[in-house]
Amino acid sequence: MNRTVALNAIGITAVLLVVSAVWSEDRPPATQRIPQFENAHVKVWKSTIVPNAPLPLHRHDHGRVIIALQGGTMKIEDQLGTSETHVWETGKAYWLPANPRNTLHRDINVGDHPIEVMVVEVEDDK
């Protein structure tokens, strides 16, 4: 009887591990910003933006390089609703200037898969 219980427990554990692995692969990652590196010259972070989960309103006081790790179509919308759309191709780099004074924007992934970018914000040399 103990051997049967042990085999059943092993079988149930195996099924749960498989279901957990499949479930986690099917779930899209959350929209997030993960710091990578910072010094007096640059700030670097990795952002993942999933569809229909925009980043909150924010601003950039410095220009930045966007490197598309997983490309897609990003809408950048300011607090007044004015927007511009960028198509970022995987493996390519793009330049975005500093935001105008007194403005905020949000990044909205208008595609159907997560966009992943590395952002290198260049601090002013003084």
Q: How far is CA 35 from CA 21, 82, 121, in A?
A: 27, 28, 12
Mean pLDDT confidence for 98-113: 95
Cβ atoms 103, 61 nearer than 8 A: no
List of domains in the chain:
32-122 (2.60.120.10)
Q: 109 near 54, Cβ under 8 Å?
A: yes
Q: Is the pLDDT of residue 106 over 90?
A: yes
Residue 7: the pLDDT is: 45
pLDDT of residue 107: 95
Determine the Cα–Cα distance for residues 39 and 75; give it in Å rounded to an integer.
Answer: 29
pLDDT digits 0-9 by tens, 113-126:
999 999 999 997 65
pLDDT greater than 80 at residue 27:
no
Taking only the tens place, the pLDDT of each residue in 33-88 is: 999 999 999 999 999 999 988 889 999 999 999 999 999 999 999 999 999 999 99
Q: Which one, of 57, 74, 59, 58, lies nearest residue 114 by Cα?
A: 74
> How confident is the prediction for the chain on average, in pLDDT?
84
pTM above 0.85, yes or no: no
Q: Residue 116: what pLDDT? A: 97
Q: Which pLDDT score, from 0 to 100, does residue 30 have? A: 86
